[in-house]
Amino acid sequence: MIRCKELTKYFTGTRALDGCSFEISEPGITGVIGVNGAGKTTLFKSIAGFLKPTNGEVYVLEEPAFQNITVAQNVILIEEGMNFYQSGNLQELMDTYSRFYLNYDMKLAKGLLRYFNLSGALKYDELSKGMASTFRLILALSARAPITLLDEPTSGMDPGVRKDLYDIILKDFIQVPRMILISSHYLGEMERILENILFIHEGKVLKHGALEEFETLLIAIQGAPSLVRSLEDQFAVYETKDIGEGLRRIVVEKSEFDHSKIAEELRASLTIQEISPEDSFVYLTRRKGGGIDELYHS
Amino acid sequence: MSILPDEKEAALMNSIIHKQTQVAIALEQIKDKFYHNVNAFMHLILLQMLGYFFAYNYSMSSGGGEFFNFTFKYMSPNALYVMTIFWMIIQGFTLAHEKSRQYYAVSNNFTAYFSDIALLEIYAVIAGLLTMFSGSLLQVFSSLFFDTVTLHSSYASLGIMNYLSLFFTGTLYFLIFGSAAYLVGILRVRFRAFFVLGTFVAMTLLLLGAILGVRFFGSAFSFSINTLFAFYLYETSFIMWLIKVLVTIAVLYLLSYAGIKNLEVNK
């Protein structure tokens, strides 16, 4: 249903997407994770048909996405920079959306407005950042579009409201299964509702798979410093750290470690811990060429 | 996370996919834009009322509070036309500028263009109607303040065909200005950073062309804005005039569409 093949997008002097290839063919909630500037918003805008790929292809519902009216009426993208008519209040905006999105559930929209204490008489421009995010999410969920793209949907919200919203997204998905893609640079708080993760970094898809695959992506190996140092040349190391006296810790890819030819006795003398998906993303996207400690101690 | 089997999920999702035509979406957009831009008509009425002030050529005198004399020497509709044209230009620019609003609900470049053009035509028709009735409105206004309003004999002789002609020509002229403004607005949205530079280059080229024209062809070389207006205003054949106006509007529409085609929504 969503298929990107070698999708590349250049803006003046910037390569926002660099040969992204992935396919989502089943309903589900997918987290699109990446740091700021990774290309998440550009990817969403390409899927929604707003941007024309510089190279490669984006197919949505088996049709090229760019400026395609079938794609437009079956995809809803919400993001912070959305424009609404200034003259319209929230109720009028919902009425408009209900005329364009034929699955629009007005009862749900009104219920969510009440739940979040938002009055339909308010104007969008009068809302605080968090309230505006909540309203956009209400629009997106009520539209019940087959493909729902939520770009940083909880931006500016209180932690309590954020948790509530993720619960609502999950409940809504269970009621009407569809493709929901949520972009964020935090994985932790939404991890519990995700089935799949699309991890992008510097415009490239680093990994796309089920959440479980990310739970065993990286491991920390801890042991005697001499022993651990002997391993450092054999693997791509994401972090090295001396922990007190007589202990050194490194972070490596689990698959690389599992397939290596390390003697069983050596393995037995090491302590191996799984790294959480959230921490794995931190390691994988960490800037190369010196950490913050080096900056302060130079 | 779902409690449903995969096949049932997929079937449910397929059942909510819609395929409406571009025309159906564009018609919905026209209604929506009309609703959200309804204030534009209030602006038109205000501008036209301002136009009435400039339209009157009058004199006033009073005799020690005993009597008050107010005489319209004549009324010219030119100021009303100018105000209405100004309003159409603003609407053309506004609609073109709103291209960044394609985020808004369901849209693509074609439906956005189609609904913009339709709205411009509705604007032109309403502007034409209001301008056509401006004479009657003037009479009503005057009746509010004066006991006797005498109409000039030529005014009384206006027939239905005169009114229709006023409406028809007014509407088409307004549409030309609205479409031209829309085209300029689209070019501005399309080229953004280069728009100011492009305008400067175009003005320089025009100026250079004029200087070189005079240098090589002598003082006989001249082109003024009046020449451009005369092309339409002094056309004596109705059919020729209609062709000129319709071709102009069509060219402006086509250029606008060329400008909007493949335009990305990247704001």
Q: Is residue B2 part of a domain?
A: no
- Given an 8 Å threshold on Cβ–Cβ distance, is A83 in contact with B104? yes
Alpha carbons within 13 A on the beta-carbon side of B87: 31
User: Which chain B residue has its CA at the smallest distance from A143's CA?
Assistant: B105
Tokens 């940083």 sit on residue? A152
Q: Is residue B267 part of a domain?
A: no
B17 contacts in A (CB within 8 Å)? 61, 74, 146
Q: Give the separation between CA B71 and CA A123, rounded to whole angstroms.
A: 49
Res. B228 pLDDT band, cuts 50 70 90: confident
Say if the ipTM goes beyond 0.85. Answer: no
Return the pLDDT at A160. Answer: 82
User: Which chain A residue has its CA at the smallest distance from B108's CA?
Assistant: A67
For range B7-11, the mean pLDDT = 76
B106 contacts in A (CB within 8 Å)? 69, 72-73, 100-101
Q: Give the separation between CA B1 and CA B82, rounded to whole angstroms.
A: 64
β-partners of residue A3 are A23, A59
Contact between residue B178 and residue B89 where contact means Cβ atoms under 8 Å apart: yes
A104: left (phi over 0), alpha (psi -120 to 50) or beta: beta
Q: Which of B1, B13, B3, B7 is nearest to A212 (CA)?
A: B1
B1 contacts in A (CB within 8 Å)? 28-29, 170, 173-174, 193-195
* A6 phi and psi angles, rounded to 5 deg: 50, 40
Q: Which of B177, B185, B193 is nearest to B259 (CA)?
A: B185
Q: Is residue B180 part of a domain?
A: yes
Return the pLDDT at A158. Answer: 85
- The amino acid occupying position A201 is H
A194 contacts in B (CB within 8 Å)? 1
Return the pLDDT at B128. Answer: 92
The overall pTM is greater than 0.90:
no
Q: Is residue B171 part of a domain?
A: yes
pLDDT in tens, A85-127: 877 899 999 999 999 999 999 999 999 999 999 999 999 988 9
Q: Is residue B266 part of a domain?
A: no
Q: Is residue B107 part of a domain?
A: yes
Minimal C-alpha gap between A231 and chain B (Å): 39
Q: Give the separation between CA A229 and CA B177, rounded to whole angstroms.
A: 77
Q: Give the separation between CA B82 and CA B88, rounded to whole angstroms.
A: 10
- Given an 8 Å threshold on Cβ–Cβ distance, is A101 in contact with B105? yes
Q: Is residue B135 part of a domain?
A: yes
pLDDT in tens, B164-179: 888 899 999 999 999 9
A51 contacts in B (CB within 8 Å)? 264-266
Q: Print the domain residue range for B76.
A: 7-261
Q: Which of B254, B246, B21 is nearest to B117 (CA)?
A: B254
Six token digits for residue A13: 């002097």
Task: Tell which wins on pLDDT, B226 or B160.
Answer: B160
Residue in A27, A100, A178 nearest the CB of B106 = A100
Q: What angle do CA A154, A157, A163 make, to 5 degrees?
A: 70
pLDDT in tens, A57-96: 999 999 999 999 999 999 999 998 888 887 789 999 999 9
Instruction: Note the helical H segments in chain A.
Output: 40-47, 69-74, 90-100, 106-115, 129-143, 159-175, 211-215, 225-232, 254-258, 264-268, 277-285, 292-297
Cα radius of gyration rounded to whole Å, chain A: 22
Contacts of B230 (CB under 8 A, 6+ apart): none
Residue A196 above 70 pLDDT? Answer: yes
Q: Is residue B137 part of a domain?
A: yes
Minimal C-alpha gap between A146 and chain B (Å): 6
User: Which chain A residue has its CA at the smallest distance from B107's CA?
Assistant: A72
Instruction: Say how many domains are in chain B.
Output: 1
Residue B66 above 70 pLDDT? Answer: no
pLDDT in tens, B123-150: 999 999 988 877 677 667 667 766 666 6
Six token digits for residue A282: 């931190």
- Given an 8 Å threshold on Cβ–Cβ distance, is A50 in contact with B102? yes
